[in-house]
Amino acid sequence: MKAREMLKQNWWDLWTLKILRTIRSDFILDIIGDGPMRCEYEIMTKRLGLDSVIRFHGFKPKHDVGEFMRNADVFVLPSLWENLPCVLIEAMASGLPVVATNVGGIPEIVNDEVGILVPPGDADAFAHALDCILENIDTYSSKDIASYAQRFSYKAVGKKLTDLYIQVLGDKKDA
């Protein structure tokens, strides 16, 4: 495998931004959180010449994360695997359109009106989706996205479960 192909495969999320940078330069990616590969990501960011558009902030308390979301234009989740990430619901509750990978439970909560889904590991598709959402940011209504996110609130999910239990128990009574 060629070095360039290996780089694209192992660092596809950063490679996405390298591609996007050839299309446009009007973006900044704020990365919130920490993990065992943070140092490697910071080094690779510099090697790819992306240190002017990627900022690593490390762990932040929930209040600060909320502030970052309130100041953002788009939420990005380039996961290779996920279950049903609450952070997407939190981002949408903040009115942010989403660009995420089509894995796990993500397709159950992200539709065309709130964002764009792309195949995992596909840097070209992810870069195109980011460019598309940034180019058309005005077509996404923060108010509508936040309203859509309410269907995933504790209250809404609790009501759906309660209604389902009542329906199942009612069906058993009738049998």
Cα angle value 60/63/65 (rounded, 5°): 50
Reference 33, options 82, 68, 70; nearest CA is: 68
pLDDT digits (tens, 9 = 90+) for 106-129: 999 999 999 999 999 999 999 999
The Cα 100–Cα 120 span in angstroms is 9
- Tokens read off for 99: 């660009």
pLDDT digits (tens, 9 = 90+) for 94-103: 999 999 999 9
Report pLDDT for 79.
92
The Cα 15–Cα 68 span in angstroms is 23
Element (H, E) at 58: strand 54-58
The Cα 134–Cα 146 span in angstroms is 18
Report pLDDT for 157.
85
Domains of the chain: 3-174 (3.40.50.2000)
The Cα 93–Cα 153 span in angstroms is 9
In the three-class reduction of DSSP (H, G, I as helix; E, B as strand; rest coil), residue 129 is classed as helix
Residue whose token pair is 């199942």? 168
Report pLDDT for 88.
95
